[in-house]
Amino acid sequence: MATSSGGGAGDQAIHRPDKASWRKTLRLFRYLRPHLGAFVAGMGCLLVTSLLSLAFPILLGKLINAHASGGGFWSAPITDLTNIDSVAKLLILVFAFQAAFGFARIYFFGLVSENALARLRQDTYAHLIRMPMLFYAQHRVGELNSRISADVALLQEGMTTSLAELLRQVLTITIGISLLTMVSVQLTLTMLATLPVVALVAVFFGRWIRKLSKQVQDRIAETNVIVDETLQGIQNVKAFSNEGYEAGRYGSAVLKARSLALKGVRWRGAFVSFIIFCMFGVIVFIIWRAVHLMADGALNMGDITSFLALSIMIGASIASVPELVTTMLKAVGATERLMDLQEGETEPLTLHPAGAPLPIRGDIVFEQVAFHYATRPDHAVLRDVSFHARPGERVALVGPSGAGKSTVASLVLRFHDPVKGRILIDGKEARAYDLAALRGRMSIVPQEVLLFGGTIRENIAYGKPGAPMEEIAEAARKANAHDFITAFPDGYDTVVGERGVQLSGGQRQRIAIARAVLKDPAILILDEATSALDTASERVVQEALDKLMEGRTSIVIAHRLSTVRRADRILVLDQGRVLESGTHDELIANTGGLYHSLSRLQLAGA
Ligand SMILES: Nc1ncnc2c1ncn2[C@@H]1O[C@H](COP(=O)(O)OP(=O)(O)OP(=O)(O)O)[C@@H](O)[C@H]1O
Ligand SMILES: [Mg+2]
């Protein structure tokens, strides 16, 4: 079920130099720019709350040194810091302000990050959906899915809580230390003597943990790919009774992620306990020094209380920094991957093309087209394909499986460009058209019909978003789908299940035909459009298709030669070459040809 090796981008990200990651993270700020006002307001509140929280230890010292006054609680002037009633009132005021500004801070940062993230999600998806087909061949759905869900979630955590929290802690630490020097320079120097050691260790550990957590994220993305693939292809898993195999595959992927995560846990644990040890060591050391200083008369009890409360706050801030930095670095890793995704070159198409449909007549010319898929450069799929389909003509492609028929169809749709040769539409090179406008005039009924999870009505309307119900029903009638749809209790509002699994293959195919009809294209591509139908329904649908093909250039791919008999020209494709071309009668007359032998085989089988 694993169709491509995928997973590449995640691994590459680990080896990227750090400068590039930071540069990419800086690009995130373009998402913040529209909300700069709220961001600045949030920063202001952040500053105020940090200052207010530092006022607490200072006032605590004052509270201990203060004395009771006879005047009563309410009459004490709030500015008299020696009066215990005043200090108590001031403290309550400080807490009240802190609560108000704390709310505003969280609100403003939330406002900025939620808006920025919504925009980022939109941009990433809009970019993703416009990538060329090659991109999807090289990446697995699960991996891309986890970019938009998991990576954005990491980013969110980093941006909403950790960034603000980190700034708050840095403010607490810097302002706190300057307050400390105001209380006692000697004691502050004592404390600072231990700080650089802790800081150095934090930087070293932080780097290492960042690397580990990035690896863990990639491993987890790999396990998600397995879940995605197997649940999407659950029929295959069950039909081959490969539940055990898949459980084993998933199990060992999980175990790999687990041991790596455990390694990260050990390092993080070591880190945290080291910091905690340092913090308590510093406290004991400070008290020890403080008691000596008090004995010398350099400090009083209130000062020591302030100093200790401040030190504990600063210590707690320092201890919380590594966790916050780790979260931030995770967010940087996630940002890097998201930005990588946004850097990939998209197809040159507009998301919301305006204006009238492209006025093409549907003249298609293949000039010595050669092609191989970029994922398999040494496997030539088309070697030399030339043909001309005039406006309104019906050109059939027949030939053995793997001959390259569907590939021709995807080249017409410009999913890929030819490696050699040219494709002309209405005499102009296909590349010269706006991609969305050109595809807007083409319809395909693909070999494997996948419907979207909504209702039948929505699925048909996909050919022309916003089409009125009458048009949808009309299209369904033309595709001979109306009867079976109205036979469902919910009619057009029947939910088809994820990817249309609640419908039969033939029903899905007729819905796909209705969708193509609704689009009213100039160029119609039918890739085995009736292959899933029984002979009776095929006849009815074939009639519908015959009507549908009138006045449009059609490329019809079919295994059953009976369905291509009426084509204006039949191309017999084998191993990427056009072996024969002509009408049915011409080709059948060539008794030595591939068409002749194919049709003899089919007659014998029927
Ligand atoms: N996305 C792809 N990437 C790489 N190779 C591909 C891809 N799609 C098809 N091929 C290869 O290109 C060749 C032609 O495939 P194509 O689907 O065009 O055959 P086909 O004539 O439509 O066959 P069928 O009748 O079975 O549908 C095959 O050898 C196939 O393995
Ligand atoms: Mg095919």
Mean per-residue pLDDT over the chain, rounded: 85
The residue contributing the CA closest to ligand 1 atom 25 is 401
Work out the angle at residue 603's Cα, subtended by the Cα atoms of residues 602 and 605, and round it to the nearest 5 degrees.
Answer: 65
For residue 523, the SS3 value is strand
Name the β-bridge partners of 364: 389, 425
The residue contributing the CA closest to ligand 1 atom 16 is 404
- Centroid of ligand 1 to alpha carbon of 547 (angstroms): 29
Backbone angles phi, psi at 65, to 5 degrees: -80, -20
Task: Answer yes or no: is the C-beta of 3 below 6 A from any ligand 1 atom.
Answer: no
Compute the average pLDDT of residues 548-572: 87
Among the listed residues 421, 442, 394, 384, the one whose alpha carbon sits nearest the alpha carbon of residue 557 = 394
Q: Which atom of ligand 1 is nearest to the CA of 405?
A: 21
The residue contributing the CA closest to ligand 1 atom 9 is 407
Percent of the chain with pLDDT over 70: 94
- Centroid of ligand 2 to alpha carbon of 398 (angstroms): 10
Compute the average pLDDT of residues 560-568: 83
Task: Answer yes or no: is the C-beta of 137 below 6 A from any ligand 1 atom.
Answer: yes
Q: What pLDDT is stored for residue 507 in this prediction?
A: 86
Q: Which atom of ligand 1 is nearest to the CA of 559?
A: 25
- Centroid of ligand 1 to alpha carbon of 551 (angstroms): 29
- pLDDT digit string, tens, across residues 365-385: 999 999 999 888 999 999 999
The residue contributing the CA closest to ligand 1 atom 28 is 402
List Cβ neighbours of 511 (8 Å cut-off, separation of 6 or more). 449, 451, 456, 459, 460, 476, 479, 481, 496, 500, 503
Structure tokens at 441: 């005039």
Could you tell me if 484 and 515 are in contact, meaning their C-beta atoms sit under 8 angstroms apart? no
Task: Answer yes or no: is the C-beta of 235 below 6 A from any ligand 1 atom.
Answer: no
Q: What pLDDT is stored for residue 15 in this prediction?
A: 36
List Cβ neighbours of 178 (8 Å cut-off, separation of 6 or more). none
- Centroid of ligand 2 to alpha carbon of 574 (angstroms): 12
Confidence of residue 199 (pLDDT cuts 50, 70, 90): low
Q: Which atom of ligand 1 is nearest to the CA of 447?
A: 27
- pLDDT digit string, tens, across residues 417-466: 999 999 999 999 998 888 888 998 999 988 788 888 889 999 999 988 88
The residue contributing the CA closest to ligand 1 atom 14 is 404
Among the bound ligands, name the one nearest to the CA of residue 410.
1
- pLDDT digit string, tens, across residues 380-421: 999 999 999 999 999 999 998 899 999 999 999 999 999 999
Confidence of residue 10 (pLDDT cuts 50, 70, 90): very low
The residue contributing the CA closest to ligand 1 atom 7 is 373
* Fold classification of 364-605 (topology level): Rossmann fold (3.40.50)
Confidence of residue 4 (pLDDT cuts 50, 70, 90): very low
DSSP annotation of 97? H
Is residue 210 over pLDDT 90? no
Compute the average pLDDT of residues 75-88: 81
Among the bound ligands, name the one nearest to the CA of residue 408.
1
Domain boundaries for CATH 1.20.1560.10 within the chain? 8-343
- Centroid of ligand 1 to alpha carbon of 373 (angstroms): 9
Confidence of residue 349 (pLDDT cuts 50, 70, 90): confident
Task: Answer yes or no: is the C-beta of 416 below 6 A from any ligand 1 atom.
Answer: no
Structure tokens at 76: 């004490």
Confidence of residue 556 (pLDDT cuts 50, 70, 90): very high
- pLDDT digit string, tens, across residues 245-294: 999 999 999 999 999 999 988 988 888 888 778 767 777 877 888 888 88
Percent of the chain with pLDDT over 90: 28
Task: Answer yes or no: is the C-beta of 403 below 6 A from any ligand 1 atom.
Answer: yes
- pLDDT digit string, tens, across residues 21-32: 778 778 888 888
**559 or 468, greater pLDDT:** 468
In this structure, the number of other CB atoms found within 10 A of the CB of residue 197 comes to 10
- Centroid of ligand 1 to alpha carbon of 404 (angstroms): 6
Pocket test for ligand 1, best of 140, 375, 405 (most atoms within 8 A of CB): 405
- pLDDT digit string, tens, across residues 469-508: 999 999 999 888 999 999 999 999 999 887 777 888 888 8
Class of domain 8-343: mainly alpha
Residue type, 343: E
Is residue 101 over pLDDT 90? yes
Could you tell me if 24 and 91 are in contact, meaning their C-beta atoms sit under 8 angstroms apart? no
Domain boundaries for CATH 3.40.50.300 within the chain? 364-605
Q: What pLDDT is stored for residue 195 in this prediction?
A: 63
